[in-house]
Amino acid sequence: MENILFGLFYLFALIVVILHYTGWLADRGLEWIVYLTALLVFPVALSPLYL
């Protein structure tokens, strides 16, 4: 189940990156999602190291 959650999170992060570079987020004033995702990537990426 944990691998599925990691996969879903990284899928979400990839979608956010694509929407950022296409300008979709900026047009709607949602650029804060990029910063939030960037803050959340570090604990998720480092958590397998502590298991």
pLDDT value of residue 45: 72
Question: Where does residue 29 rank: exposed (0-12), middle (13-18), buried (19+ CB within 10 A)?
Answer: exposed
> pLDDT of 2-48, one tens digit each?
788 888 988 999 999 999 999 999 999 999 999 999 898 887 777 76
For residue 46, what are the CA distances in angstroms to 30, 42, 43?
26, 6, 5
The tokens describing 4, both together, are 């599925």
pLDDT value of residue 11: 94
The tokens describing 22, both together, are 């296409």
pLDDT value of residue 7: 87
Which residues form the domain of 36?
2-50
Judge whether 25 and 19 are in contact, CB under 8 Å: yes
Total domains, the chain: 1
Query: Could you give phi then psi for residue 29, rounded to 5 degrees?
Result: 70, 30
